[in-house]
Amino acid sequence: MRKYPSLLLENAVNELASLPGVGRRTALRLALYMLRREEDYTEKFAAALLALRRDIKYCKVCHNICDEDVCGICSDAGRDRSLICVVENIKEMMAIENTGQFKGLYHVLGGIISPIDGVGPGDLEISSLEQRAAEGYINEVILALSATMEGDTTNFYIYRKLAPFNVAVSIIARGVSIGDEIEYADEITLGRSIQHRVPFGITEN
């Protein structure tokens, strides 16, 4: 016996259930919700997702997602261009930005070094960070990666790569607990971790 009364409904549930954190019950509830709404609502919803997938761009400077070639943060003349905060992904950049404590620029790596997952330095935006450091206008790079083994490995790799340049390298204070993901830290703790960052070399001991 068929589980759903309609193949179209079943297809919609299958697609919605493929989203992270969405089970089949939630997917069914969402699909039925769409059916109850006006057709115009569903069309706008679908159009927004298609536009996101087709038209989104990545900043040529920091690799943040944006609508133009350069994101709003990088093009903001009021930001401190001598200070760069290195983050793993867009979610972590947004988490730090929401604290209101950081006024510099960002650099999104697109991941962290993880041999188990097959992610090496060449898969990340590290060479472009070196290029930014080589331009000579950066005074400090803050490493704001998660306090995990993979995060610490990536921190050390970047630290070594930036060593030839006249750039101070610091790491966020460990107000973020060991093993914690940056994106899940509360804004107060995360903001204080940025403010009370320490030179990277101190953390090696």
Show the domains of the chain with their CATH numbers: 7-55 (1.10.8.420), 79-204 (3.40.1360.10)
Mean pLDDT throughout 68-91?
Answer: 95
Pick from 16-20, 73-77, 133-137, 193-197: least confident = 193-197
Cα dihedral value 108, 110, 116, 122, nearest 10: -90
Pick from 51-60, 103-112, 144-153, 183-192: least confident = 183-192
Q: Which residues contact 39 (CB under 8 A, 6 or more apart)?
A: none
Q: Which residue has the higher pLDDT, 161 or 175?
A: 161
Answer whether 124's CB lies under 8 Å from 109's CB. yes
Mean pLDDT throughout 177-194?
Answer: 55
- For residue 165, count CB atoms less than 10 angstroms from its CB and return exposed for 0-12, middle for 13-18, buried for 19 or more: middle
Across the strands, what pairs with 84? 105, 141
pLDDT digits (tens, 9 = 90+) for 86-128: 999 999 999 899 988 899 999 999 999 999 999 999 999 999 9
d(CA 138, CA 132): 8
d(CA 122, CA 111): 11
d(CA 185, CA 146): 10
